[in-house]
Amino acid sequence: MNTEKIEKLNACNDAVKWLQKQESYEQAWQDCKRGDRMLWLLGKKAGPVDSQSRKDLALCCCDEAELSLPYAGKNKEVCEKTYRAIRDYHAGKLTVEDLRAAADAAYVAYAGGTAGAAARKKILNEAADIVRKHYPEPPEI
């Protein structure tokens, strides 16, 4: 499979190598087990900050991030507040500045997460399914 377009977006080497082994871009989207890579691509293709496409992507990210709640430990409350903020942003109840403040708090919580390698792999696989629920077809590249 030709990966020239994805390489121009500065995809990581591992993703490019995986994609080269796929029969088609569409099939790769359906078979991907790395929700983080799928979100990366969607982020590259989403519209400008505060656009509806960006808000929809934020909602998808929120659904994905909730998978990590069992591993949030003492940071569970700040994670839950962040997810509420994302949903409020999607609904037009918060500004992008409010959302950035929530994201900063979530980053601190993420840094203290305790998910092991097996849990991370499981979460990424489930996250890929969530991305496909929101975006059944891959974005144009």
Residues in CB range of 29: below 8 A, 6 or more apart: 38, 132, 137, 138
Q: Is-contact 73 113, C-beta < 8 A?
A: yes
> In this predicted model, what pLDDT tens digit does every residue of 73-118 receive, in sequence order?
887 888 888 888 889 988 999 888 888 877 776 665 555 555 566 7
Residues in CB range of 137: below 8 A, 6 or more apart: 26, 29
Domain boundaries, the chain: 33-134
The residue ranking higher by pLDDT, 118 or 19, is 19
Structure tokens at 112: 């203290």
The CA distance from 76 to 106, in Å, is 10
